[in-house]
Chain A
Amino acid sequence: MMASSYNAKEEDAHHSGASSHGGAGAVKSKKPDNTAFKQQRLPAWQPILTAGTVLPAFFVIGLIFIPIGIGLFVTSNNIKEFEIDYTGVKTDSPCYSCAKNVSWNNTTPCVCSMDFTLEQPFENNVYMYYGLSNFYQNHRRYVKSRDDSQLNGDLSALKEPSKECEPYRKSEGLPIAPCGAIANSLFNDTLELFHIDSNGTRNPVPLVKQGIAWWTDKNVKFRNPGANSNLTIAFQGTTKPVNWRRPVYELDPLNSDNNGFINEDFIVWMRTAALPTFRKLYRIISKKSGSNPTLSSGRYVLDVTYNYPVLSFDGRKRMILSTISWMGGKNPFLGIAYITVGSICFFLGVVLLIIHHKYDTRNNSPDIPN
Chain B
Amino acid sequence: MERFHWVQHRCRQLLAGDSGRGCYSPPDGLSTKSSPQSAGGRRRTVFARHGPHHQEHQSASKNYKSNAIRTTKYSLLTFIPMNLFQQFHRAANLYFLFLALLNWVPVVEAFQKEITMIPLLVVLAVIAIKDALEDYRRYVFDKRVNNNVARVFCGFKQTYTECCWKDVSVGDLVRLSCNDIIPADLLLLSSSDPRGVCYIETANLDGETNLKQRQVVADLPVQGEELTPENFLSRIECENPNNDLRRFRGYIEHPGGVRVGLHNSNLLLRSCTIRNTETVVGIVVYAGHETKAMMNNSGSRYKCSQLEKRLNTDVLWCVFLLVVMCLVAAVGHGLWLQNLRDPVFQVDGETSPVLAGFYVFWTMIIVLQVLIPISLYVSIEIVKLGQIYFIHNDLDLYNEQLDSQIQCRALNITEDLGRVQFLFSDKTGTLTENKMVFRRCSIFGVEYPHEENARRLQVYEAETDKVAGRSVTLQLGSSRKSLSCPSLSCNCSSVSLHTLTAESAEDKDQLPTGAQARTSVFCSRMAKEVVPDPALVQKLNWFCSSVLPLSDSSSSPSSLELTYITDFFLALSVCNSVVVSSPGHATHLVPKDQTPLRSLEEMKLMFQRFSFSPFSGLSPPQIRGSPRSFTSRLFTRGKAGTLTVSLRPNSATYKSDTDPERDLETSTLECRPDLSSIGDGEDDLQVEETEEDLRETHPDRAGEDGGALAKEADSEGDPEDELLYEAESPDEAALVHAARAYRCTLRGRSADSLLVDLPGVGSLEVQLLHILPFDSNRKRMSVVVRHPLTGQVVVYTKGADSVIMDLAGTPTGAEQVCSHIRKQTQRHLDAYAREGLRTLCIAKKVLEEEEYEVWMKRQLLAESSFENREELLLESAQRLETDLTLLGTTGIVDRLQEDVPETIEALQRAGIRVWVLTGDKQETAVNVAYACKLLRDNDQLLTANCGSKEACAALLEELQQEVQRGHCWTDWSSGGQLSSSSGTSFVLVIDGRTLDWALQEGLKSSFLETSRRCKAVICCRSTPLQKSQVVQLIRDQLGVMTLAVGDGANDVSMIQVADVGVGISGQEGMQAVMSSDFAISRFKHLRKLLLVHGRWCYSRLANMILYFIYKNVMYVNLLFWYQWFCGFSGSVMSISWVLVLFNLLFTSVPPLVYGVLDRHTAADILMERPQIYRAAQTAKVYVPSTFWITVLDAFYQSLVCFFLPYFAFADSDVGSLSFGSPINASALLIILLQQVIESNTLTWIHVLVLVLSGGSYFLFVLPFSVFCVTCSPPTNPLGVETLQMSQPLFYFLCVLTTVTALIPRLLFRALYNTFHPAAVLRSERYQSRTQCSNRSHSRTNSVPLCADNPGLETSSAS
Contacts and interface: CB of A to CB of B under 8 A. Distances in A.
Contacts of B134: 4
A33 interface: yes
B167 interface: no
A149 interface: yes
Given A20-B496, A44-B1242, A49-B1310, A221 B341 contact: no
Interface of B: 71, 73, 110, 127, 130, 134, 137-138, 141, 144-145, 148, 181, 203-205, 207, 271, 273, 293, 297-300, 302, 339-348, 363, 381, 385, 390, 392-395, 398, 400, 403-405, 411, 495-496, 498-499, 502-503, 506-507, 510-514, 1125-1127, 1129-1131, 1133, 1157, 1159, 1162-1163, 1204, 1206-1220, 1236-1237, 1239-1245, 1269-1270, 1273-1276, 1278-1279, 1282-1283, 1287-1289, 1292-1293, 1296, 1299-1300, 1303, 1306-1307, 1309-1311, 1313-1315, 1319-1320, 1322-1323, 1325-1327
Contact of B1125 (A61, A275, A344): A275
Given A42-B1245, A148-B1273, A315-B343, 19 more contacts: A15-B144, A23-B499, A31-B400, A32-B392, A32-B393, A39-B395, A46-B1322, A47-B1240, A51-B1313, A137-B1216, A139-B347, A141-B348, A142-B345, A143-B1274, A164-B1273, A275-B1211, A328-B1287, A341-B1296, A363-B1323
B511 A29 contact: yes
5 contacts: A136-B1129, A310-B344, A312-B343, A338-B1296, A348-B1303
Name which of A42, A68, A149, A370 has the most chain B CB atoms within 10 A of its CB. Answer: A42
B355 to A, nearest CB: 14
Interface string A130-159: 010001111111111111110010100000
Given A152-B1270, A274-B1216, A360 B1314 contact: yes
A26 B342 CA distance: 82
Interface in A30-61: 30-34, 38-40, 42-55, 57, 61
Given A13-B204, A279-B1213, A341-B1299, A45 B1242 contact: yes
Contact of A40 (B385, B1129, B1157, B1282): B1157
A278 B340 contact: no
A167 to B, nearest CB: 7
Contacts of B1289: 327-328, 334
Contact of A30 (B405, B499, B503, B1275): B405
Interface string A184-221: 11000000000000000000000000000011110011
Contacts of A68: 1292
A33 B392 CA distance: 11
Contacts of B400: 31
B499 A345 contact: no
A50 B1319 CA distance: 10
A341 B1204 CA distance: 11
A50 B1313 contact: yes
B874 to A, nearest CB: 31
Name which of A20, A25, A52, A352 has the most chain B CB atoms within 10 A of its CB. Answer: A20
A21 B137 CA distance: 21
Given A10-B205, A53-B1310, A276-B1126, A5 B299 contact: yes
Contacts of B1129: 136, 138-141
B1278 to A, nearest CB: 5
A295 interface: no
Given A30-B405, A44-B1241, A365-B1323, A356 B1208 contact: no
The 9 closest A-B pairs by CB, nearest first: A216-B1279, A274-B1219, A313-B343, A3-B299, A44-B1241, A54-B1310, A185-B344, A13-B204, A140-B1129
Contacts of A5: 71, 73, 138, 297-299
A272 interface: yes
Contact of A6 (B138, B1125, B1296, B1325): B138
A54 B392 CA distance: 37
B17 to A, nearest CB: 33
A319 interface: no
Contact of B1211 (A164, A279, A370): A279
B124 to A, nearest CB: 13
A18 interface: yes
A221 B1219 contact: no
Contacts of B144: 14-15, 18
A10 B348 contact: no
Contact of A32 (B137, B394, B498, B1130): B394
A32 B499 contact: no
A279 B1274 contact: no
A227 interface: no
A9 to B, nearest CB: 7
Contacts of B1159: 40, 44
Contacts of B511: 29, 31
Interface of A: 1-7, 9-11, 13-15, 17-18, 20-21, 23, 25-34, 38-40, 42-55, 57, 61, 65, 68, 72, 129, 131, 135-149, 152, 154, 162, 164, 167, 181, 184-185, 214-217, 220-221, 243, 271-281, 309-310, 312-315, 326-329, 331, 333-334, 337-338, 341, 344-345, 348, 352, 355-356, 359-360, 363, 365-366, 368, 370
Contact of A27 (B398, B503, B1125, B1306): B503
A196 B110 CA distance: 51
A50 B1126 contact: no
B927 to A, nearest CB: 35
B1242 A20 contact: no
A137 B203 CA distance: 73
A181 B1274 CA distance: 12
Given A148-B1273, A312-B342, A278 B141 contact: no
Nearest to B363: A140
A38 to B, nearest CB: 4
A338 B1220 CA distance: 20
Given A220-B1278, A274-B1219, A341 B1300 contact: yes
Contacts of A146: 1273-1274
Contacts of A309: 344
A137 B1125 CA distance: 10
A31 B1311 contact: no
A43 B1159 CA distance: 11
A314 B392 CA distance: 68
B1279 A152 contact: no
Contacts of B1273: 144, 146-148, 162, 164
Contacts of B1245: 42
B723 to A, nearest CB: 26
B297 A54 contact: no
Contacts of A137: 345, 1216
Contact of A54 (B347, B1283, B1306): B1306
Nearest to B1247: A45
Contacts of B1275: 143
A178 B182 CA distance: 78
A274 B273 contact: no
A247 B1251 CA distance: 51
A9 B207 contact: yes
B1122 to A, nearest CB: 8
Name which of B345, B1276, B1314 has the most chain A CB atoms within 10 A of its CB. Answer: B345
Contacts of A2: 130, 300, 381, 385, 411
A284 B145 CA distance: 81
A345 B1214 CA distance: 30
Contacts of A21: 495-496, 499
B1219 A334 contact: no
B210 to A, nearest CB: 16
Nearest to A311: B341
Nearest to B206: A9
A215 B137 CA distance: 55
B1320 A47 contact: no
Name which of B344, B390, B1219 has the most chain A CB atoms within 10 A of its CB. Answer: B344
Contact of B1213 (A138, A143, A280, A312): A280
A185 B343 CA distance: 10
